[in-house]
Homo-oligomer: A and B are copies of this chain.
Amino acid sequence: MPKVTLAEKLAQFETHWDPHVVADYNDNDVMVVKFQGEFPFHSHAETDDFFLVLEGEMIMDVGETSTVVGPGELFIVPRGDVHRPRSEQECKVLLIEPKGVPNTGDPATAAAKPRI
């Protein structure tokens, strides 16, 4: 079934920084994720990183620049840019990354990205 209700998928897990794949778009994983706290600074040499805030508010730090991103706002980190998302309160995000890309920039510490 190609329709995906994002809120239903987000209701299926509680964990933070734990992206879950909900659909495929060409060679990309389309994921939902919940952020709370600070993610480590990292970069992806080979790909842009797509974030769309669905609920709550995240702060995206890119180098020394911090941007508040709220619902209905998109933030695409250009490839190679060192960045970290963070959020004091829980924030729900749609994330798109090419398949096989480690979310931390490092396969040793990357999330599993289970499919739901």
| Partner-B contacts on A (CB < 8 A) | 2-7, 22-26, 30, 47-48, 50, 52, 54, 60, 62, 67, 69, 72-79, 94, 96, 98
Contact = CB atoms under 8 A, between A and B. Distances in A.
Question: Interface of chain A, helix or strand or loop or mixed?
Answer: strand
Contacts of A78: 2
A18 B48 CA distance: 25
Give this chain's copy count: 2
Nearest to A74: B4
Contact of A77 (B2, B50, B72, B76): B2
A75 B2 contact: yes
Most buried by B among A4, A7, A54, A79: A4
A94 B74 CA distance: 10
A48 B25 contact: yes
Given A26-B98, A94-B52, A6 B76 contact: no
B94 A2 contact: no
